[in-house]
Structure 1
């Protein structure tokens, strides 16, 4: 009989294989989503009763989502070739630090006008705190688009995926119009009274390599893998270039 750790490895490998061809959820059919959810539940059954926040710290790459606000982003790369391609969406990350900060980051390339693609990084900053054994409360703090003023079509794609609708979306779009500007998302006192909790995030599974989150706002699931830092990548590249160590 397999040990619990071995079974966890089997369940995680199956989940990763199941989502590998779904283009981060963009091409998932209803049947695909059901099968992914079943595989996801198997992994979640191994979750610790209480979230270890120390494991959360780091950079996480999004592998798959069902969130209604994010699916239009990942579908941008799957439009038929005869349709206008406003942007090409690259990696999507969440970055947590051990001081209660989190950044939602999208790397993209604007493709309008044709032939003049411009790379950009779009990000929203938030603060998080524990709300339950495996849930976090999120409070959005600021948004910015470093080094670029994106087009209207790009803003239309990006804004709903990273911040709440309404007043905060307006502030987010304002940030997107002003290169090098970091715009606060903290609402005025009259609005703050109605928004003590701007988002809730259930971390249904977390270990050193995989993060699965479920959100109430947007009604979606997210599956992430931990992104190795630059030191890890350089060490891995150096090891490959040296080849196997001979036995003496």
Structure 2
């Protein structure tokens, strides 16, 4: 600071006075300010995070990236080759090792997750049907957990967006909804009790609307009623009844963070890779 002060004095108008009229100025010593937390303290605090921890976080993100890259171009598992499935399983286990042994955080689990890959046969059958049948299309598949304020239980909904070309809107023509209750039975396992299968949110295509109520004619009360009935139609089929126990199974949540969910259906039911999605229902 003293060096800076002398430099600034030499360039001020005082330096333009005649030598004889110059006076000797003595600057008071300026006390160094007292910082409760100096910049060096802040730097020390920033570097207080163990290097090993930072490296572990970077390694985890790299492994998650490699896992998502491995499932790219497999059509959510439908076209995965044996070699690809082997590589995916290896990458999946690598990510799972970072979260092993931690209890399930239901607050973190709550929300909507988009399916990126699966080896579950019941889901692959749907994807195969959409790939081979010209009148059936599958868009997004989600899993929605509702358990934010719960500690041992909640509700999960498996959501499949599907459509029929020319009859229903593309991507969001209709919704297949499979609802289940779940309860936490161990540190990482939840038990699912399926309750209902429903078809809802039917959105008919513009071509079908024009067929039911042509644009060149005024829409009658009957045609409007038909359109409204289709849009509000909801078919529900209960999975359980009072005479029999509901269908269920164990679901192992092998990894969970803010943007990725990995699960395994216990008993050889397949693996699931999800990423966080925006709320849609």
When normalised by structure 2's length, the TM-score is: 0.63
> What is the Cα deviation at residue 148 of structure 1?
4.7
Q: Which has the higher contact order (CA 8 A, sep 6+)?
A: 1
Q: What does residue range 1-248 of structure 1 map to in structure 2 within 5 Å?
A: 3-49=55-101, 50-79=103-132, 84-98=133-147, 99=150, 100-111=154-165, 115-118=166-169, 119-148=173-202, 179-189=233-243, 191-192=244-245, 198-216=248-266, 219-229=269-279
Following the alignment from structure 1 to structure 2, what is the Cα–Cα distance between the partners of residues 76 and 54?
A: 35
Q: Secondary structure at the match of 1:132?
A: coil
CA contact (8 A) 2:110 2:145 kept: yes
Structure 1: state its 5+ residue gaps.
150-178, 231-248
State the aligned residue count.
192
Q: Which residue of 1 aligns with 2:26?
A: none
- Whether the 8 Å CA contact 1:69–1:218 is kept in 2: the answer is no
Specify the alignment match of 1:162 in structure 2.
none
For 1:10 and 1:31, the matched residues in 2 are separated by 21
2-structure distance, mates of 1:201, 1:188: 24
Q: Is the 8 A contact 1:26 1:78 kept in 2?
A: no
Of structures 1 and 2, the larger Rg is shown by 2
Alpha-carbon distance in 1 for matches of 2:142, 2:239? 20
Q: Quote how far apart the aligned CAs of 1:129 are.
A: 0.7
Cα distance in 1 between the residues matched to 2:278 and 2:199: 24
CA-to-partner distance for each residue in 1:130-161, whole Å, 9 max, x for gaps? Answer: 01110100011122111559xxxxxxxxxxxx
Partner SS for 1:188: coil
Residues 46-98 of structure 1: per-residue CA shift (max 9 Å, x gap)? 1152221211100000000000111122234444xxxx413110100000011
Local SS of the residue matching 1:36 = helix
**Could you tell me how far apart the structure 1 residues matched to 2:240 and 2:168 are?**
32
SS at match of 2:182: strand
| TM-score (normalizing by structure 1) | 0.71
Is residue 168–residue 202 contact of structure 2 (8 Å, CA) maintained in 1? Answer: no
- Kept after mapping to 1: 8 A contact 2:100/2:254: no
Partner of 1:163: none
4+ residue runs of structure 1 moved beyond 4 angstroms? none
Q: Distance in 2 between matches of 1:126 and 1:54?
A: 18
User: Would you say the 8 A contact 1:91–1:106 is kept in 2?
Assistant: yes
User: Would you say the 8 A contact 1:68–1:218 is kept in 2?
Assistant: no
